[in-house]
Structures are given as C-alpha cells and as structure tokens.
Amino acid sequence: MLPYGRQLLDERDVEAVTAVLRSAWLTTGPVVEQFESAFAGAVAARHAVAFSNGTAALHASMFALGIKPGSEVIVSSMTFAASANCVLYVGGKPVFADVDPGTLLLDPADVEARITPATRAIVAVDYAGQPCDYEALRGVANRHGLAVVADACHALGATYRGRAVGSLADLSVFSFHPVKHITTGEGGMVTTDDGELARRLRLFRNHGITSDHRQRDSAGSFFYEMVELGFNYRLTDIQSALGLSQLDRLDEFVGRRRAIAARYDRALRELPFIQPLNVSPDVEHAYHLYVVAFDLKQLARTRADVFKAMRGENIGVNVHYIPVHLHPYYRAKLSVGPGFCPIAEAAYERILSIPMFPGMSDQDVDDVVAAIAKLRP
Ligand SMILES: *Cc1c(COP(=O)(O)O)cnc(C)c1O
C-alpha cells in the first residue's frame, strides 16, 4: 500500500542522532537551541520555541496570548481537531468559521461575521500546505484587536507574497510528526517576532518555571521560581538532532513535493471528474497534502465507493478532514453540527487526499493517476 504520507530519513539523520546519544546531554540542551535558531532562520522569524509536539505548541500559543475562560477564538472548521482543542485546554471557546470552496482556506469574510465582543484571536490553518490570505486576515484582526495564530503544521517551506510561512502571523505553529515536511518522531515549534510571547512560550513548556536546569547549573545555583502553571512540553536534544539534520534538506523535500504536485496537475487535467484544489497566485505551496475533489454525480458513485476502489488498488488515500464541528464531542460541547459551516461540510463529502511525500517516485505518481483513471464511468 502506497501511504498518503511518510518520512524520508537517511544515514545523515542516523549519525546526527547517534552523536547526541554518545554525548553528555539527552534532553533539552544545546542541540534544542541550535535547532530553534536554525528553524527561526529558515522561516525568517526572530524567535523559535521547540515543543514536544505540535499540539503542545498550539496549547502554549493559547497560553502565551492569554486566552482564558470567557475568550472566544475563531478556528477554521476544515482542520485536525488539535487546532480547536487548544482553545478548550485553556478554558476558551472555539468558534468555527467556514472556508473558501476553492482552496478550503479560512474565509476572512466569514471570520469577520463570527466576531463578538469576546473574540480574542483567530487560528488560521494553512490547509494542505497553502498559506491563508494573511493580508485579509490581518485586516480583520486589526479592525477588531485580535491576535492571528497560524496553524502552519501543513505549510513549512511555503510562502505568501514572497514572505515565508512562520513570519506571517503573531504566532506560527509547526509539527514534526513523521507525515509532515520534516520529522523529529514527535515534535513541534512556535515562531514569533515578539520577545514577550517567546518568553511566555518558554515558561509554559517548562512547568511555568523561570529558569531551566542548565541555566541553574551554569549560574551555580539551586534556586528557581514557578510563576505560572505550565507543563512539561520539552523537546529533547535527541529529537532536535534529527530535526536539524532534516531541516538541512527542507528545500529538497519541498522541491520534490512541488514536482510531484506538478506531475499530478498535468495528468489530472485530462480527467473531467476530478478537480484539484485551487492555488492562489500569491503563494508558493508546500504540499503537505495533495487534495482532490470528485464530481460524484458524474462518477455516479459515493465518496465511500471511490475510497474503497482506491484502497483496492493499494493506493493509501485518506480524508482530510471531517470538519471539526461535526465531531460528537464538539456537537455536544458547543451545540454545533450540520449547517454551521456549510462550505466545509459540502467539501468534506467530495474530497480525498492522494499520496504525497518526497520519497515517492514518478512511477508511484503515475500508478496513483492510473488508479484514479480506472474510476472513469
Ligand atoms: C499535525 C497537525 C497538528 C498536530 O501536530 P502533532 O505534532 O501531531 O501534535 C495540528 N494541526 C494540524 C493542522 C496538523 O496537521
């Protein structure tokens, strides 16, 4: 089975990790700092703070912004549940907003329509690897005094109007899960230009304590103070060594993803019953996912049939995503459900993610296209 996503590691990664295993320091130490500073450089942000995973990084972002009970945060409905769960972790209320039907990116006009006096922030999701319309979102945020958080877990390596994802929002969140652009096994990062937000992120990742173990060692002191309620969300040096080594190859990985996308684009143009998502001329896409929408009427099939037929051809298609407001937990918790974000709901019925990862060969791409072509009525 050809999966929809998979990591790409080689001997350089293995050597980088084993070097840390032979060193004196395993957890959050010098290699985390090196990874943070290389990452900040790669996305043109002033600060990068590493976390144990992307979900922890989202949680910390909500803490850093001061989201609390009584706060509302507008979140794209077409995303992984973690984009909204982070708001609940700090006692806030996620308010789902709808997406543009062509790109499935957060619709700035719908965001504005859902703002109330309690709204404090927007979580924009760079769905599939395409940056949101940050100029429009920034306009909405400025008019209403809101913070913008980019859930950029799909979009490392993408640009919007020539600017790197990671420098477009007040806080940008990344994941290093193995299906993402670079991996640390599990891991995450938040980038920001704001030194005070970076300080709060670091506090939150280490129990709300003002200094870490290494700082106390080097100051020759035992003393520390816990000033906030934080968590242990630290990334290790072992993981960061893998992250650094992977980051070295980010351009190569993203370049290969773009080449695969171009090959899909060309081949799928010939098939009238399938439509890839729109790509804005303002962006360079990072293609975490390659998402297509089927014309199910033309095919005279359900999406479930298409899914089964593709899996039957050993093509590991997937669905990204079930709109978050349709999950039972959210329906019960927030009294949301069908009709709340109709564009995301209609898109959900028609979409599939087809395999997209840098280790795919051109032959793999052609095999996927051939399997899709067999669906022709
Ligand atoms: C992967 C992902 C996350 C969560 O990242 P983890 O590292 O798995 O915790 C959050 N949001 C989106 C959109 C993601 O794709």
User: What is the distance in A from the centroid of ligand 1 to the CA of 175?
Assistant: 6
Tell me the pLDDT tens digit for each residue of 128-169: 999 999 999 999 999 999 999 999 999 999 999 999 999 999
308 is known as an active-site residue: no
Look at strands 72-76 and 93-97 and give their pairing: parallel
Taking the model in full, what pTM does it have? 0.97
CA distance 5 to 160: 24
53 lines ligand 1 (CB under 6 A): yes
36 lines ligand 1 (CB under 6 A): no
153 lines ligand 1 (CB under 6 A): yes
Q: How much is the pLDDT for 134?
A: 98
Across-strand partners of 96? 75
Average pLDDT over residues 248-254: 98
| Length of the chain measured in residues | 377
129 lines ligand 1 (CB under 6 A): no
Contact (CB, 8 A) for 145 and 112:
no
Ligand 1 atom closest to residue 56's alpha carbon, by position in its atom list: 9
User: What is the distance in A from the centroid of ligand 1 to the CA of 54?
Assistant: 5
Give me the residue label for tokens 């972002």. Answer: 61
54 lines ligand 1 (CB under 6 A): yes
User: Of the listed 180, 297, 308, 374, which one is catalytic?
Assistant: 180
Q: How much is the pLDDT for 214?
A: 82
Residue 354 in 3-state DSSP? strand
User: What is the distance in A from the centroid of ligand 1 to the CA of 214?
Assistant: 29
192 lines ligand 1 (CB under 6 A): no
Give the pLDDT band of residue 211 (cuts 50, 70, 90): confident
What is the overall mean pLDDT for the chain?
Answer: 97
Q: Any idea what DSSP says for residue 48?
A: E
Across-strand partners of 284? 159
172 lines ligand 1 (CB under 6 A): no
Ligand 1 atom closest to residue 127's alpha carbon, by position in its atom list: 13
User: Whose CA is closest to atom 14 on ligand 1?
Assistant: 153
User: What is the distance in A from the centroid of ligand 1 to the CA of 153?
Assistant: 6
CA distance 214 to 51: 17
Q: How much is the pLDDT for 329?
A: 98
Give the pLDDT band of residue 175 (cuts 50, 70, 90): very high
Ligand 1 atom closest to residue 175's alpha carbon, by position in its atom list: 7
Ligand 1 atom closest to residue 176's alpha carbon, by position in its atom list: 7
Q: How much is the pLDDT for 188?
A: 98
Per-residue CA distances from 217 to 130, 201, 202, 237 (Å): 44, 22, 18, 17
Would you say residue 220 has pLDDT above 90?
no
